[in-house]
Amino acid sequence: MDSKNSNDWLFEITPTNKFFSLNFKEIWQYRDLLMLFVKRDIITVYKQTVLGPLWYLIQPLFTSITFTIIFNNVAGIKTGSIPPFLFNLAGIMVWNYFTACLNGTSDTFKSNAGIFGKVYFPRIITPLSIVISNLVKFGIQFCIFVVFYIFFFCQGADLSLNISVLFFPVLIIFMGILGLGLGMIISSMVTKYRDLNNLVGFGVQLLMYISAVMYPMELIKEKLPKFGWIVQYNPLAYVIETSRYMLLNIGNISILGLVYTMVVTLIVFFVGLLVFNRTEKSFIDTV
Amino acid sequence: MKDIILKAENISKQYRLGEVGTGTLSHDLNRWWHKIRGKENPYLKIGEVNDRSKKGTSDYVWALQDISFEVQRGEVLGIIGKNGAGKSTLLKILSKVTAPTTGSIKSRGRIASLLEVGTGFNGEMTGRENIFLNGAILGMTKKEITSKLDEIIEFSGCERYIDTPVKRYSSGMTVRLAFAVAAFLEPEILVVDEVLAVGDAEFQKKAIGKMQDISKGEGRTVLFVSHNMAAVRSLCTRGVVLEYGKVIFEGNIEEAVNRYFDDEKQFAYKEWDKESSPKTNFLRLLNAKVLNEKEELELNHSITNSVAIQFTYEILEEGNTFTHGFNLFNNENVHIFSSHDKDSLTLVKPLSKGVYSKKIIIPGNLLAEGTYTCSFAIMRYNPFVVEFHEMDIVGFNVIDKFGGDTARGNYNGNFPGIVRPILNWK
């Protein structure tokens, strides 16, 4: 054996990954794949449909209309000077981004078992592509929000922007990271225990009710002082409340709450990375 | 000096049998409990050899056990073995799809795997879009693909359909396109599994040609798994034979291919009982033997020696005229020759009840080195009727040697051809 270069192996395949090893160089090498996955996710949705990308708008609009009728007109939730439709649209938009990230990534291993079983590329590319393609989708939805914002403004609604709206993109990225982190944890566990799949399905639905999507956070503290803390300690509720604060200038947020949200997000994300990293090497045997 | 590009050291892979269900959690907890106390994984010990036909006692099996081999740069290594021998598992580990349970693989080059063509093809997207997607999945950058796009399209021969969604393609076209993408990959090590099993003859030829270019012209290393022994032999320079998860042979590809066929067809003697014997209403085959020049049962014959095959049968009913037929096949199922016992006395004078033998002799210096199997037939003339034709009756190996009395002489390289007669050169 050639002794002079016996140690210059390019890489080594071993039974398990190191405790924490995220190969950024490798992810960078596969950046084109990431972009192609994003492109695939976006264009395949509206191939062979008549309405095409309009489908991205129809769902939040109809949900907002339904919420406005049920929660504001029937149940009588007050949204102050803000038109209830706009209030709901803002919440649903952000919430949808989170659930799309979570649902998409939590299925990573199972739904991609076919590809993963045949060829190697950094597995993290797949959940990343889901988060990014949903971000594009969110962008489209955000445009429709702006259209309605201007519409209501012209109608004479009392709307004002908060200067913190400049940080809205940061907030959305944190929402994406939270969805990604949670999704990665779930996707890793789903490979062995399919039970979680069922949990995610209705869990997300229930989660919406404690995430202040269709009501201001104030309201829950007022009406249910005993259980208000559930909503208060829910980072998702915080993100949604904050985004409404930024976009519509209602509600109030505390810096402490935001810091708490970010810390939780980062913890979830790193735990997610860790679990994902441990799973990706041999999940194909159990999935 | 050897230039080793890939080195596998004691790779083992354990799988759990049965359903992954309620038992999993308890095993996981137990494993974890051992781990935090610093003990060994309790389930690693109890695996047993992976013989699918035998019932085992443990829920864990070793799909691969202590596999070690080295691959040199520019070599085309064939990995062969029967179903369940562990080939696919090995390739999965090599292509990083799954991790080995123990052991490690070290590599000096990028590995790209082609475990199945068309991985990640999306039916909704056009051929062109899929070339990019599939190329990227296999590890190419957009720039690389763009620069080779025309070549890829041309090689696939799907030019006309390139802007049509792939779901409208025929399966052959999908494979062509997929193989075309893969063929233009430029990793140092290419792992290929059974891709050649699809596509028409013309495309297969093209694919094999491309593989040869890749390995010979461009000096890339290829690990090739296939059941197509002709393809393996024409492509590979060296072979690894797997059986029940273990390497049973590593070396020259010809020998490796023979080892692959060995235990299936390696029988110099066969006999039948009343129920199973090949028969017709007046005759029943009793046994068949492969004999050497000393009339002894022998499986392995030197290339210079003649090989005799003797069939023994019983006449059940008198008054029938018939004759015997014999066919010889090599281990790639190529029909080497056919022989009729056209001057047999049995064509003229029916045999009385009793046991008879018939022997044919294949002369030395006729067959090439390899493993052969024979078939035997009983026929009638006028009108021509085949009473029975029994395949794979007995088999034998012809082993080459050097020397003046062989066709090879003292040449020690690869000696091709399905027969190896000594001819007169004048």
| Residue B327 forms contact with A (CB below 8 Å) | no
Nearest alpha-carbon partner for B397 in B327, B310, B298, B316: B298
Determine the residue among A14, A23, A32 to mutate to test chain B binding: the one whose Cβ has the most chain B Cβ atoms within 10 Å: A32
Q: Which residues of chain B make contact with A119, given a CB cutoff of 8 A?
A: 95, 97, 113, 115, 119-120, 137-138
pLDDT of residue B290: 92
H-helix segments, A79-124: 84-106, 108-111, 113-116
Which residue among A30, A48, A285 sits closest to B98, beta carbon to beta carbon? A285
pLDDT value for B230:
65
- Which residue shows structure tokens 């023979």? B258
pLDDT tens-digit map of B79-120: 888 777 888 888 888 888 888 888 888 888 888 777 666 677
- Mean pLDDT for the stretch of residues A116-138: 88
Q: Tell me: pLDDT of A6 over 60.
A: no
**pLDDT for the residue A41:** 85
* Confidence (pLDDT) at B363: 93
Q: Which pLDDT does position B272 carry in this prediction?
A: 87
pLDDT of B218 reads 72
Q: List chain B residues with CB under 8 Å of A44.
A: 122, 124-125
Section A131-157 average pLDDT: 89
Mean pLDDT for the stretch of residues A27-50 = 84
Determine, for residues B133 and A36 on separate chains, whether the beta-carbon distance falls below 8 Å. Answer: yes
Residue for token pair 């596998």: B8
Taking alpha carbons only, the member of B96, B78, B104, B197 closest to residue B138 is B96
Determine contact: B27 vs chain A, CB below 8 A: no
Q: CB under 8 Å to A127, separation ≥6 — which residues?
A: A104, A105, A108, A180, A183, A184, A187, A276
Helix (H/G/I), strand (E/B), else coil: A209? helix
Encoded tokens for A10: 């390019």
A177 to A134, A171, A184, A264: CA distances (angstroms): 12, 10, 10, 11
- Closest Cα in chain B to A43: B125
> Residue B54: its pLDDT value, please?
57
Candidates B3, B107, B116; nearest CB to A118: B116
- Rounded Cα distance between A26 and B166, Å, is 29
Interface of B with A in 138-167 (CB under 8 A): 138-142, 165
CB contact under 8 A, A12 and B107: yes
CB contact under 8 A, B138 and A36: no
Looking at chain A, the number of H-run helices and the number of E-run strands are 13, 1
User: What gap in Å lies between CA B98 and CA B82, rounded to an integer?
Assistant: 21
What pLDDT shows up at residue A264?
92
> Which is more confidently placed, A22 or B214?
B214
Tell how far CA B42 is from the center of its chain: 36
Q: Report yes or no: A195 at the B interface, CB cutoff 8 Å.
A: no
Least Cα separation, residue B191 to chain A (angstroms)? 10
Instruction: Match 């003697």 to its residue by tokens.
Output: B269
- Residue in B26, B92, B97 to test binding to A, most A beta-carbons within 10 Å: B97
Of the candidates A43, A119, A192, the beta carbon closest to that of B20 is on A192
Instruction: Tell me which long-range contacts B202-210 makes (C-beta under 8 A, separation of at least 24).
Output: B203/B157, B203/B172, B203/B175, B203/B176, B203/B179, B204/B231, B206/B155, B207/B179, B207/B183, B208/B234, B208/B235, B210/B155, B210/B183
Kindly calculate the radius of gyration of chain A based on its CA atoms and give it in whole angstroms. Answer: 21
Cβ atoms within 10 A of the Cβ of B123, count? 13
Task: Give A 36-65 residues with CB within 8 A of chain B.
Answer: 36-37, 40, 43-44, 47-48
| pLDDT score recorded for residue B84 | 77
pLDDT at B359: 92
Express as a percent the part of chain B with pLDDT over 70.
Answer: 86
All domains in chain B, ordered by first residue: 269-399 (2.70.50.60)
Backbone angles phi, psi at A180, to 5 degrees: -65, -45
Contacts of B138 in chain A (CB under 8 A): 119
The pLDDT assigned to B265 comes to 45
Of B105, B106, B136, the CB nearest to A32: B136
> Which stretch of DSSP H or E encloses residue A12?
strand A11-13
pLDDT in the model for residue B329: 92
Q: How high is the pLDDT of residue B338?
A: 93
Contacts of B84 (CB under 8 A, 6+ apart): B50, B52, B244
Interval A255-268 mean pLDDT: 89
Question: How many CB atoms are located within 10 Å of the residue B132 CB?
Answer: 22
Closest chain B residue by Cα to residue A191? B20
- Compute CA distances A20 → A186, A275, B137, whole Å: 18, 9, 24
**Cα–Cα distance measured from residue B7 to residue B9, given in angstroms and rounded to the nearest whole number:** 6
pLDDT in tens, A68-109: 888 888 888 877 778 888 888 989 999 999 999 988 888 888
| Chain A residue numbers touching B115 (CB-CB < 8 A) | 117-119
Going from the C-alpha of B213 to that of each of B91, B179, B184, B200, the distances in angstroms are 22, 14, 11, 20
- What pLDDT is stored for residue A3 in this prediction? 41
Q: Do B125 and A48 touch (CB under 8 A)?
A: no
Q: Which of residues 61-100 of B touch A (CB under 8 A)?
A: 70, 92-100
The CA distance from B29 to B18, in Å, is 19
Per-residue pLDDT tens, chain B, 426 aa: give them. Answer: 578 888 888 888 888 776 555 556 677 777 777 777 777 666 665 555 556 555 555 667 788 888 898 898 888 888 888 777 888 888 888 888 888 888 888 888 888 777 666 677 888 888 898 899 888 888 888 888 999 999 889 888 888 888 888 888 887 788 888 888 877 877 788 888 765 555 566 776 777 777 777 777 777 888 888 776 667 777 788 999 888 888 888 888 878 877 776 655 457 888 888 888 888 889 999 999 999 899 888 887 888 899 999 999 999 998 889 999 999 998 888 899 999 998 888 888 888 999 999 999 999 999 998 889 899 999 998 888 899 998 888 988 887 777 778 888 877 667 888 899 999 898
CB A69 within 8 A of CB A76: no
pLDDT of residue B361: 94
Interchain pair A47, B165: CB under 8 A:
yes
A117 touches B: beta carbon within 8 Å = yes
Tokens of B252: 């020259």
Asked if residue A1 has pLDDT above 50, the reply is no
Please report the DSSP string for B351-385 in residue order. PPSEEEEEEEEEPSSSBPSEEEEEEEEEEETTTTE
A27-46 mean pLDDT: 86
Residue A254 touches partner B, C-beta closer than 8 Å? no
Across A113-117, A186-190, B312-316, the highest mean pLDDT is recorded for: B312-316
pLDDT the model gives residue A17 = 61
N-term to C-term CA, chain A: 39
Closest by CA position to B297, among listed B277, B270, B324:
B270
Please give, rounded to a whole number of angstroms, the shortest distance from the CA of A180 to a CA of chain B: 21
Query: Is this complex's ipTM strictly greater than 0.90?
Result: no
Return d(Cα A41, Cα A38) in angstroms, integer: 5
Distance between CA atoms of B131 and B145, rounded to whole angstroms? 8
The phi and psi torsions of A220 (rounded to 5 degrees) equal -70, -35
Instruction: Mention every residue, 6+ apart, whose C-beta is less than 8 A from residue A64.
Output: A85, A88, A89, A92
Largest CA distance in chain B: 86
Q: What are the beta bridge partners of residue B297? A: B291
Q: How many angstroms away from the CA of B38 is the closest CA of chain A?
A: 16
Average confidence score pLDDT of chain A? 83
The DSSP call for residue B213 is: I
B319-345: burial string, b at 16+ Cβ within 10 Å, e else: ebebbbbbbbbbbeeeebeeeebeeee
> Parallel, antiparallel, or unpaired: how do β-strands B300-302 and B4-16 relate?
unpaired
The whole-angstrom separation of Cα A219 and Cα A212 is: 9
| pLDDT above 50 for A4 | no
Token pair for B213: 């270019």
